[in-house]
Amino acid sequence: MADKNAVQTPSKKKKKKGLSQYILGFFLLLYTLFCGLPILLVFISAFTDEMSIVQNGYSFFPKKWSTNGISAVLKYGSKLITSYGVTIFITVVGTLFGLFVMSMFAYAISRPGFRMARFLSIYLLIPMLFSGGILSSYLVYASLYGLKDSFLLLILPLSVSTMNVIILRTYIVNSVPLELMEAAKIDGAGDYRTFFQITLPLMKPVLAAVGFMMATAYWNEWQNALIFITTDSKKPLQLLLVNIQKSIEFLLNNNNVPASVRAAMGGTIPQQSATMATVVVVIGPIMVAYPFFQKYFVKGLTVGSVKG
């Protein structure tokens, strides 16, 4: 029962389309607008004329439209393309790698008769209860491992998470028939072959769900990049946004910055419509991909919510 989703499976409750339903609908609509309008504003502002923003402020109904913001983004040119490349790289590699190692782990600890599974389950849970915090991670990653400025720090820390492994394991236990895996064994398939040819293909829905959540996490990651990455050519998209914000901050707080420095920093204060256009470029791909994955991750989230 728990893997049903309220929206997808209308319950058999008696339906009354009375006035109260329309009142309820009105409030739901209000909340929907509350969620959607800020994002709409980003897209509108990206296409608003700069003077319009400066004089009249941000608006859902700008006086004048313009594509200058978008074309100004292209001024970042190679920087933007490099960052895009970095983000796509860590998102794709991180998600695939994470899914791979986590589903193998989930498969192993869900095997009946594998005694070490108990130890491994506890081993998996502890990081959720206790962690060293940001400072300890920083010390260990940067000075002990010597990984400063390495892509590995953008990929590895997010690749294995307790919650995702629990979701995957719950799915294997509940939705992949044990008989099927045992039949494969009787037919002579080894453990690896059983996993890769029987279990993994049957895990597609949950892999899509967890995969999308992971991909979003990778796409949106900025903190590790901010702390560890120093080389320009390794900076992901989010860091570009953070840096734009930092440079605005710097220029606003330092009125006495000489013109030469301003010029060296690449012109004046970044324009507001151009900044919004950058935001569009950064969040756009997720907005586009999300509707295709929605049904999977709503389902995946639901399945995984069963306590492991």
Q: Which of residues 98-157 bind other proteins (CB under 8 A)?
A: 100-102, 104-105, 107-109, 111, 113-117, 120, 123-141, 143-147, 152, 156-157
Q: Name which position in 70, 173, 202, 298 contacts other proteins (CB under 8 A).
A: 298
Q: Output the smallest distance, CB 35 to other proteins, in A.
A: 5
Q: What is the closest distance, in whole angstroms, from the C-beta atom of residue 139 to other proteins in the complex?
A: 5
Complete DSSP assignment for 219-251: HH--HHHHHH---GGG--HHHHHHHHHHHHHHH
Give the tokens for residue 20.
Answer: 């109260």
Residue with smaller CB distance to other proteins, 63 or 263: 63
Q: How near is the Cβ of 267 to other proteins at its closest, in Å?
A: 18
Site for other proteins, residues 23 to 42, rule: CB under 8 A: 24-25, 27-29, 31-32, 34-36, 38-39, 41-42
Interface size with other proteins, residues (CB under 8 A):
118
Provide CB contacts within 8 A for 301, sequence distance 6+: 167, 209
Residue span binding other proteins (CB under 8 A) among the ranges 70-78, 200-208, 216-224, 255-263 = 216-224
Among positions 175, 197, 254, 305, the unique one binding other proteins when judged by CB under 8 A: 305
Between residue 60 and residue 99, which ones bind other proteins under the rule CB under 8 A? none
CB of 287 to other proteins, least distance (A): 7
Query: Within a 13 Å sphere around the CA of 156, how many CA atoms are in the beta-carbon half?
Result: 8
Each residue 175-214 as x (binds other proteins by CB under 8 A) or -, in order, gives ---------------xxx--x-------------------
Answer yes or no: are the C-beta atoms of 117 and 109 closer than 8 Å.
Answer: yes
Q: Which is nearer to other proteins, 232 or 263 (CB)?
A: 232
Among 59, 67, 71, 233, binds other proteins (CB under 8 A): 59
| Shortest separation between residue 190's beta carbon and other proteins, angstroms | 7
Q: How far is the CB of 126 from other proteins (least distance, A)?
A: 8
CB of 255 to other proteins, least distance (A): 15
CB 229 within 8 A of CB 149: yes
264 binds other proteins (CB under 8 A): no
Residue written as token pair 């072959």: 193
φ, ψ (nearest 5 deg) of residue 65: -95, 160
Spatial separation of the C-alpha atoms in residues 7 and 244, rounded to whole Å: 40
Nearer CB in complex with other proteins: 115/256: 115
Contacts of 219-227 with CB under 8 Å at 24 or more apart are 219/87, 219/91, 219/285, 219/286, 220/286, 221/90, 221/154, 221/158, 223/134, 224/153, 224/154, 224/157, 225/154, 227/134, 227/138, 227/142
> What does the block give as tokens for 100?
């791979």
